[in-house]
Chains A and B, each alone.
Chain A
Amino acid sequence: MDEVLKFFLEYKDMIFIIVLSVFLGIEVISHVPAVLHTPLMSGSNAIHGVVIIGAIIVMGHAENTLSLILGFIAVILGTLNVVGGFVVTDRMLEMFKKKKK
């Protein structure tokens, strides 16, 4: 039990962020119309591409060839997620906009 309490204290800032973000995530999309389910999913898909930052950090401090190679692949995959996700979402939303005129 002590361990758990110590863990909480050590990471309390991040635990706060996590818990508040959970509620925020629920709140932010709770009234989304069905029309936008697909773009929303694809947009949030792009947002979790933020993992790319981790890949950059890891690659930026790679100490041997293996981690350089793995980091290289990780950065490519992360970029795919980010760029692909945002571009696909934009393409979908562009079509919604077009017919408004």
Chain B
Amino acid sequence: METITKLIEFSSEISILEISYLIASILFILGLKKLSHPATARAGNLWAAAGMGGAILFTILFHKKEGEPIGNIIWIVIALAIGSFIGWYSSKKVKMTAMPQMVSIFNGMGGACAALISLMEFPKMQNHLASLPIPANNMLGGEGIAILLGLMIGGVSFAGSMIAFGKLDGRIGDFKHPILRIINLTFLVGLFVALALILFMKPVEGNNLPIYLFALAALIYGVTFVMPIGGADMPVVITLLNSFTGVAAAMGGFLYGNQAMLTGGILVGSSGTILTILMCKAMNRSLLNVIIGAFGVAGAAGTEDGDKTVKEISLSDAAVLLSYSQKIFIVPGYGLAVAQAQHLCHELDNLLASKGVEVKYAIHPVAGRMPGHMNVLLAEADVPYEKLVEMEDANNEMGNTDVVIVIGANDVVNPAAEDDPSSPIYGMPIIKALDAKNVIVMKRSMAAGYAAIPNNLFYHQKNRMLFGDAKATLQKLVAEIKSL
């Protein structure tokens, strides 16, 4: 009788745990769905977080492995507390402009976590297989595959994310060299070969060197994989690494037969891949092209002719021009965000609006350093949602626009994308600033943009340059307009 009640108790706990995983999976799906609509996005995030919290809590309470409950609970709680504190604190403090770096770091942490799990599970599996009454001849099987793939993908994601972080933060420069392509290809093929070799290895107790070397190789590949990819392509890389970590997490789910990890990981993996492809489309490039990293290497020289002159505009002329316009588009770029000038920009648009000028923002899908980054930055500066116009709609309105002000943007307004087939960005959709009557480009200097491609817009007769730091110039411009 006693054993029966125990059995029922045991299975009901497991059932509760599995139900919590089911609920978590549903909440992840609904959360992602809600995250795709502006009105429900915040709730969606909270739903997903609630699902996660529940799954974590019930795992600690009810998870059993061969009848053994979770041990070391104190240490687990301490680790959870440390992680929560650091995660919460750093995400509260991070500046909105540094958001891509932050996401990159968090992504790397997830990848590292997945890789560590595999590093711990592999020796267990190997020792188990070696100590069977009839020792196994190899480690082929779902368990081995999941462990090794989790280690490989997690390791690549971790190392890659750290390099991406360094690049976004300006700590690491691009390193482009044709030889990297060969190294990368060799490493990629080598990793899969090594994976297969380890699987076919005869399990020997304590023989862990191969797996450590495998982990090391994955880390190195992560570095060499992201190293040559240009800064302008970082958004694509981060989304790609994001989906990598998703797949690594799913491998953990496969290993433990854990459905919450499986659905959560795969959801992120597949949606991340789609997001990556969407972004590549926005830049009119193939994913392969991004990964191989041909950007800025070819064709940059084609448009470099000698005697081009740029026209400058004085602050007072700019102020007059803007004040007596009817319709203005502001094209913000990352330069605006770096200078932390989005608030001033909003001040300018308010000021002009009070003079009866219609001011809107034309947002290129890849403006900033993450897709949609610019929207977040302008939202931070309280620019109303209705004023942000997506690229296609903005281009339709360009014809009856008096002035386009380009602030800290470059490649997204480069006409070479439309008329110079030799340009590396040829075919990328751009904001057609030249369709407007006048263009003012605010820029620190004549240096080329992030993609290091010369921009003929600057030399066009419709365009006039307003040189200087975005923030300082905007400040002066606002003062000038006020004094009119």
Which residues of chain A have a CB within 8 Å of any CB of chain B? Answer: 3, 7, 10-11, 14, 17-18, 21-26, 28-63, 67-68, 70-100
Q: Are B116 and A32 interface neighbours, CB within 8 A?
A: no
Report the bound CA distance from A36 to B35 in whole Å. Answer: 8
Distance in angstroms from A35 CB to nearest chain B CB is 4
Q: Are B363 and A56 interface neighbours, CB within 8 A?
A: no
Chain A residues with CB under 8 Å of B270's CB are 21-26
Report the bound CA distance from A53 to B21 in whole Å. Answer: 10
Q: Are B110 and A51 interface neighbours, CB within 8 A?
A: yes
Q: Does B440 sit within 8 A of A, measured CB to CB? A: no
Choose from A24, A35, A72, A97 the contact partner of B267 (Cβ within 8 Å).
A24
Distance in angstroms from B88 CB to nearest chain A CB is 5
Q: Are A85 and B106 interface neighbours, CB within 8 A?
A: yes
Question: Considering residues B31, B96, B266, B282, which has the most beta carbons from chain A within 10 angstroms of its beta carbon?
Answer: B266
Choose from A7, A50, A70 the contact partner of B116 (Cβ within 8 Å).
A70
Q: Are B117 and A74 interface neighbours, CB within 8 A?
A: yes
What are 19 A-B pairs with beta-carbon distances under 8 A?
A7-B141, A14-B254, A25-B270, A33-B390, A34-B371, A36-B372, A38-B372, A43-B44, A51-B117, A57-B63, A61-B65, A70-B120, A72-B78, A79-B79, A80-B83, A80-B86, A81-B106, A84-B102, A84-B109
Q: Are B264 and A36 interface neighbours, CB within 8 A?
A: no
Q: B363: nearest residue on chain A (CB-CB)? A: A34
Knowing A38-B370, A38-B372, A41-B275, the reply to whether A7 touches B142 (Cβ < 8 A) is yes
Chain B residues with CB under 8 Å of A63's CB are 124
Report the bound CA distance from A60 to B59 in whole Å. Answer: 10
Q: Are A47 and B256 interface neighbours, CB within 8 A?
A: no
Q: Does B274 sit within 8 A of A, measured CB to CB? A: yes
Q: Does B260 sit within 8 A of A, measured CB to CB? A: yes
Knowing A18-B250, A21-B263, A26-B274, the reply to whether A56 touches B76 (Cβ < 8 A) is yes
Which of B46-54, B164-172, B288-296, B348-356 is near enough to bind chain A? B46-54
A-B contacts at CB below 8 angstroms, number? 374
Q: Tell me the interface secondary structure of chain B in the complex.
A: helix
Q: Does B107 sit within 8 A of A, measured CB to CB? A: yes
Report the bound CA distance from A70 to B371 in whole Å. Answer: 35
Chain A residues with CB under 8 Å of B37's CB are 36
Q: Are A49 and B110 interface neighbours, CB within 8 A?
A: yes
Kindly list 14 other residue pairs between chains A and B, CB separation below 8 angstroms, not including A81-B113, A91-B91.
A18-B254, A26-B271, A29-B32, A29-B35, A32-B35, A36-B35, A37-B365, A73-B116, A78-B83, A80-B86, A84-B91, A86-B45, A86-B48, A89-B35
Q: Are A93 and B45 interface neighbours, CB within 8 A?
A: yes
Q: A17: nearest residue on chain B (CB-CB)? A: B262
Closest CB pairs A-B (n = 10): A79-B83, A25-B270, A60-B70, A84-B87, A37-B371, A37-B372, A83-B87, A75-B79, A54-B252, A21-B266
Q: Are B63 and A71 interface neighbours, CB within 8 A?
A: no
Chain B residues with CB under 8 Å of A10's CB are 142
Report the bound CA distance from A34 to B366 in whole Å. Answer: 9
Indicate with 1 or 0, residue by residue over B107-119, a CB within 8 angstroms of chain A CB atoms. Answer: 1011011101101
Q: Are A59 and B76 interface neighbours, CB within 8 A?
A: yes
From residue 55 to 105 of chain B, which have CB atoms closer than 8 A to chain A?
55-56, 59-60, 63, 65, 68-73, 75-76, 78-80, 82-84, 86-88, 90-92, 94, 96, 99, 102-103, 105
